[in-house]
Structure 1
Amino acid sequence: MEALLSQLPIGLSIAAVLMLVALGLTFTFGQMGVINMAHGEFMMAGAYTAYVLQDWTGREAVLAALPVAFAVAGAMGLVLERAAVRRFYGRPLDTLLLTWGVSLVLQQLARDIFGAPNVQVRAPGWLDGGVRMFGSQLPYTRLFIIVLAAVSALAIWAYQNRTRQGRRMRSVMQNRQLAACSGIDTGRVDQLTFFIGSGLAGVAGVALTLIGPIGPNLGTYYIVDAFLVVVAGGLGRLRGAVIAALALGLLDSYAEFWTDASLAKVIGFAAIVVFLQARPQGLFVLRSRALT
């Protein structure tokens, strides 16, 4: 029992990372139907933003980079949406090929600017050490990521449910034609949605700098798991993404504890496949009235 409890903080920290990565995909993939393979590279852009800022802010680069990375990654997503993605709405496979090509270009651009070797971003001094939970040491860096993921999820929920623009976003994603007939500027809503989704990827990239070194391939390590979280939770369903991230993070932690890292990934992927066989639409499904 002590061994099982000791894995709980580790599983929660893994879940928090997956949640942060998946939050942006909840907008661009879950709500807009765009398979954005460049989402991982927006995370990379956020991580390198923290790396660049540490020359001016020192060890406080992580905090300073959170809003800057959101703006940088959001702007990159906005340019991508305006330049190319808007021509492919309703064609998810085409968006997959398009954004995959963009991701390769961004990876090479990062190599040309920062070099191929990984680089390190120093964590703030007040994140040194950790807290002991259930017989396991939980670093303050991981605890910070857990808090950041929780705050981000609450902020997104409040935006979607308590603001006028958030309600407009939900209406466009649920029924674009009816929203347009109601006078909503769907093009502007699309821009804002892609900006927020991409900006959240930048925030996730900053958080990942607290875990280890960063490099041009940073996004490829998390993008598949993030898509699995969004699909398993239900497309566009925020609470589904949160629950799916918790489940996958805990499963990965305990599977790695009993086996090894590679086999743990296989077990997690197999569990998602089996789950989707039983519930192909995910944990939560958008309920609507339709003619039968």
Structure 2
Amino acid sequence: MFAGFLDALFNGISIGAVLLIAALGLAIVFGLMGVINMAHGELMMLGAYTTFVVQNFCKQLGGFWFEIYIFLALILAFFLTAIAGLILEKGVIRYLYGRPLETLLATWGVSLILQQFVRSVNWVIVIGIAIFCLLFFGGLRILKSRANISRVQNWIVAVLLVLSLGVAIATGNLLSQTYQLAVTQPWFGAQNLDVTAPTWLQDGLSLGSLQLPYARLFIIALTIVCVGGIYIFLQRSNWGLRIRAVTQNRSMSACLGIPTAKVDAITFALGSGLAGVAGCAISLLGSVGPNTGQNYIIDTFMVVVVGGVGNLLGTIVAALGIGTVNYLIGSGTLALLLTPIPPLVDFFNFFATTSMAKVMVFALIIAFLQWKPGGIFPQKGRTVDA
């Protein structure tokens, strides 16, 4: 029984480690910008799909490349999702600051778009998007350099938008008719896809009767590296200092010359990149699909709220606590430990499934927030007033 408890505890900590990586970015973004990003889970999904693509590419190369693909996937997932987050911040969120409800609805819409995108993406869509971006944003750059046409600028932008869309759609139709299924076949589809871990992550560490999978140990080590990296960045770098200053008092930071708009963009890109790293870690625990991010987004928000908005230590404690408690209840381990107390055994056996365990954890969090509304480590002083 004791060995089973240790095994469940280890699995719970590894799940909490994934939640922690995902919640780190969300905690920074939410704490600094007050933005409720419902597309955070889909950024995790993009990181997981990036891992799948890198795995397939390195598998064809074979040997050494397959053994190290997870490190390449981590780097690529971070930068790709950071760029996606930067585009999201500059294209959507920047125009909705101070309006949390609109931000929530907009990012929820973006999450639905990203889910459908990975289900349907093919060469036609990618080429069409590339042509549209080249024509529209290239035209905008040329337009901004012409100061003498400012009076009709809005009309020119509208015409440029229509022409860019028309050329992109026409090109897509031409490719579809010319090459038929060769360019219209979806890359991923709606089904879940499996990611194979490198050979050195497929075994486990034996400690007596306890088996610790290397993949979960790798996730825990990755979490420690991410937490350490974020701490050093926030405490030791110039941009970390600016981020902390804007978090505490945005108005005063702007008065002192800190570019708050650039800080927002960098912070959102950093949080999105961490979501991509979390998606890479998730791919080692299970299959990858369009709904992968939705399985973690609620838990991630709960971690941020319970830990205290924008508090790094609170996020760590909340992530490990929620992940561990969730697994102990859902796996039936807690019911097994309470065997001497039959009423409690029956009660926890009722919640001994993944979905019901989430319900119980959610109820416990509601009760906790009634006692401490600000979370484990609530904001104090100027941070609250700002």
Give yes or no for contact 1:7–1:136 (8 Å, CA) kept in 2.
Answer: no
Q: Select the residue among 210, 223, 228 that pairs with 1:154.
A: 228
In the alignment, does 2:299 pair up with 1:225?
Answer: yes
Q: How does 1:269-284 map to 2 (within 5 A)?
A: 269-284=362-377
1:133 to partner: Cα distance: 4.7
Paired AA for residue 46 in structure 2: A
Unaligned runs of 5+ in 1: none
2:242 aligned partner: 168
Give yes or no for contact 1:81–1:191 (8 Å, CA) kept in 2.
Answer: yes
Structure 1 CA distance for aligned equivalents of residues 270 and 193 of structure 2: 27
Structure 1 CA distance for aligned equivalents of residues 189 and 90 of structure 2: 29
1:17 to partner: Cα distance: 1.3
Give yes or no for contact 2:31–2:247 (8 Å, CA) kept in 1.
Answer: no
Structure 2 CA distance for aligned equivalents of residues 42 and 270 of structure 1: 27
- Equivalent residue pairs, number: 291
1:94 aligned partner: 102
Q: How does 1:221-260 map to 2 (within 5 A)?
A: 221-256=295-330, 257=332, 258=335, 259-260=352-353
In the alignment, does 2:56 pair up with 1:55?
Answer: yes
Give yes or no for contact 1:30–1:230 (8 Å, CA) kept in 2.
Answer: no
2:81 aligned partner: 73
Name the SS of the counterpart of 1:218 in structure 2: coil
Paired AA for residue 107 in structure 2: T
1:207 aligned partner: 281
Structure 2 CA distance for aligned equivalents of residues 91 and 133 of structure 1: 52
Structure 1 CA distance for aligned equivalents of residues 5 and 287 of structure 2: 29
1:127 aligned partner: 201
Structure 1 CA distance for aligned equivalents of residues 208 and 273 of structure 2: 35
Name the SS of the counterpart of 2:14 in structure 1: helix
Give yes or no for contact 1:6–1:135 (8 Å, CA) kept in 2.
Answer: no
Give yes or no for contact 2:194–2:286 (8 Å, CA) kept in 1.
Answer: yes
Q: Percent identity?
A: 50
Name the SS of the counterpart of 1:216 in structure 2: coil
Q: Deviations over 1:28-67 (max 9, x none)?
A: 2232211101111111111111111123322333211111
Q: Deviations over 1:65-92 (max 9, x none)?
A: 1111111000001001001101111221
Paired AA for residue 79 in structure 1: I
Moved more, 13-22 or 66-75: 13-22
1:188 to partner: Cα distance: 0.7
Moved more, 127-136 or 9-18: 127-136
1:286 aligned partner: 379
Paired AA for residue 275 in structure 2: A
Name the SS of the counterpart of 1:131 in structure 2: strand
Larger radius of gyration: 2
1:14 aligned partner: 15
Paired AA for residue 381 in structure 2: S
Q: Deviations over 1:213-271 (max 9, x none)?
A: 10111100000000000000000001100000111111112112232222211111111
Distance 1:24 1:7, change over 3 A: same
Unaligned runs of 5+ in 2: 60-65, 122-187, 336-351
In the alignment, does 2:189 pair up with 1:115?
Answer: yes
Distance 1:134 1:161, change over 3 A: farther
TM-score (norm 2): 0.73
